[in-house]
A = this chain, B = another copy of it.
Amino acid sequence: MSFNKGFENGIVILGAGNVATHMSLALRKAGHNIKCIYSKTIHAAKTLAIQVDAHYTNEINQIPVEADLYIIAVKDEIIEIIVQNLKLKYGIIVHTAGSISMSVFKDRYQNYGVFYPLQTFSKLREVQFNNVPICVEANNKILENKLFDLASSLSNHVYKVDSEKRKSLHLAAVFASNFSNHMYSVARDILKQTDISFDLLKPLIKETAQKAIDQDPMQAQTGPAVRNDDKVIRKHIEMLKDNPEYQNIYKFVSDNIYYIRNKKDN
């Protein structure tokens, strides 16, 4: 079974950042032909191109016009600039952004869609792409199925998600990933100020995440806020007096934990 079906003329990747890098590596590993890497930074384009056996360029008008698929994996605000400048003969064009509607391609291209991998990527950190959920969307059914098949060649978790739902998903992901990660950062900073190793918290971080995966995180909630332990909460707020930003976060999040639990109970 060849997953290259439909993409014999190769894939162009626009971007050479975290998402572009992991996406390119995963596509190459799955046997797809990466034709060209574009990045406005020639060094970044070259670094990635070498890894996936592709050409590279930092000029939009040097991008081959006869590829089958163009994947735009750049910062959100650059997508429109690329759309205004990229000419294709017949290829499909998609972006990988959580919060940009598919309609960004409307009027300029015939076949377009979205190919959104829901994961946090860092260049130097390996990712098991077969575990990464990929959300696909397209402007017609045939293309949607084609993108679904492509995604299935990379991952075991492929979903058809429209632009509206994808925006909610992206918003939820900000809470689940960026904001939870910030809570780890604050914890680490508090420990640093008292000269305690962050290692002590690592089993707790791991177990908290695993619990949320295994059961409803709202049910799994523990700690002073959910049991409305005023004495501890007041002590903690006092301890944060030199960190007014942390103090605010502590108050708002504690209030919300308590409020939601009570709303649910009533």
Question: Which residues from chain A sit less than 8 Å from chain B, CB to CB?
Answer: 18, 75-77, 99, 118-122, 125, 127, 131-133, 135, 157, 159, 161, 164-165, 167-169, 171-191, 193-196, 200-218, 220-227, 229, 231-232, 235-236, 239-240, 245-246, 248-250, 252-253, 255-257, 259-260
Contacts and interface: CB of A to CB of B under 8 A. Distances in A.
Contacts of A225: 174, 178, 182
A167 B206 contact: no
A173 B206 contact: no
A160 to B, nearest CB: 12
Contact of A172 (B135, B176, B190, B232): B190
B239 A249 contact: no
A252 to B, nearest CB: 5
A226 B71 CA distance: 24
Contact of A178 (B159, B176, B226): B226
Nearest to A131: B203
A183 B185 contact: no
Given A176-B201, A202-B213, A203-B157, A169 B191 contact: yes
A75 B181 contact: no
B165 A212 contact: no
B178 A120 contact: no
A217 B76 contact: no
B191 A256 contact: no
Nearest to A233: B174
B200 A76 contact: no
A196 B257 CA distance: 22
Given A221-B182, A222-B120, A171 B236 contact: yes
A169 B231 CA distance: 17
A47 to B, nearest CB: 20
